Structure 1
Amino acid sequence: MALKRMDNVGIVVEDLDKTIDFFRELGLELEGRATIEGEWAGRVTGLGDQHVEIAMMRTPDGHSRLELSRFVRPTVVSDHRKAPVNALGYLRAMFTVDDLRETLERLGKHGAELVGDVVDYQGVYRLCYVRGPEGLLIGLAQELG
């Protein structure tokens, strides 16, 4: 049996509305919001009694999704939002944009901060990392040429 696709990447956040607004500004579309709770959900995650608010964000091409989750219960057990780029575990999500400069200006209004520098990679991509809401590390790439 072969792998068919990757459905989504999940990110746990504290402020769901602020994070939705950030990813909307980036260009993702809110596909839907829901509350997930009940015995079945706790069995899947191994967390037992849980109550989670989720928002599914879709890229404009319809192929990729981010599932943003805010846990009401149980409480969050650790915080990796300020982890450096070389930390183990979730590193970053990378998005390709039409105009990197314009995207940085728009995201800056939502609190995004440049991590290092904007660099050109071999005349193929212009790249940078930003810290978005809640310290989420986001990579941005603009195709050149």
Structure 2
Amino acid sequence: MAVRMDNVGIVVEDLGPAIEFFVELGLELEGRSMVEGPWAGRVTGLGDQRVEIAMMRTPDGHGRLELSRFLEPDVVADNRRAPVNALGYLRVMFEVDDLDDTLARLSERGAELVSDEVVQYHDVYRLCYIRGPEGILIGLAQSLL
């Protein structure tokens, strides 16, 4: 039985802008390191690998986002611009305290709304999807309660 969700992983081409983007969103850089060697490849099934990772912690301290940049082996697929209904596609959702302010700050770092509007779900949430660094799909929600 699972005890907790430890992290969600996203592969990026350039760690620097991705880290800056998620720091702007409110996450904290917990650490940055190199993961390499056959032992790591036994976990992933990729063989000998070199991966630079950055672990980002959510403000509540309960969630983490692992950003990975593969140096070896080469990246074999690019799903960054896949539509939200693509099988196996990943999106990460964050609750924010002020959606308009968050959108304004993240747009300065290249974020773009997926649709042209922020949608309100009853009197509960204001929601939107954005494309963040490298086209990563991110959901943002502001509680109205």
Q: If the TM-score is normalised by the length of the shorter chain, which range does it land in?
A: over 0.9
Which 4+ runs in 1 deviate beyond 4 A? none
State the distance in 1 between where 2:89 and 2:51 align.
Answer: 20
Q: Which residue of 2 aligns with 1:113?
A: 112
Q: 1:86 & 1:54 partners in 2: Cα distance?
A: 28
Cross-structure match for 1:140 = 140
Are the counterparts in 1 of residues 93 and 140 from structure 2 also a CA contact under 8 Å?
yes
Deviation at 1:38, TM superposition (A): 1.0
Specify the SS of the correspondent of 2:82: coil
**Shift of residue 42 of structure 1?**
1.1
Once residues 120 and 38 of structure 1 are traced to their aligned partners in structure 2, the CA distance between those partners, rounded to angstroms, is 47
Structure 1 residue identity aligned to 2:97? D
Letter in 2 for 1:123: D
Displacement of 1:91: 2.7
> Residues 1-145 of structure 1: matches in 2 within 5 Å?
2-116=1-115, 117-145=117-145
Letter in structure 1 aligned against 2:13 = E
Root mean square deviation of aligned Cα: 0.7
What do residues 48-98 of structure 1 show as CA deviations (whole Å, max 9, x unaligned)? 110000000000110000000000010000000000111111331000000
Report the TM-score, using the length of structure 2 for normalisation: 0.97
Partners of 2:123 and 2:14 lie apart in 1 by: 37
Letter in 1 for 2:135: G
Rounded Cα–Cα distance in structure 1 between residues aligned with 2:2 and 2:38? 28
- Identity over aligned residues, as a percent? 74
Q: What are structure 1's unaligned runs of at least 5 residues?
A: none
Question: Where does structure 2 lack aligned partners over 5 or more consecutive residues?
Answer: none
> Which SS does the other structure have where 1:123 is aligned?
coil
- What SS does the corresponding residue of 2:61 show, helix, strand or coil? coil
Matching residue's letter, 1:144:
L
* Distance (Å, rounded) in 1 between the aligned partners of 2:89 and 2:6: 17
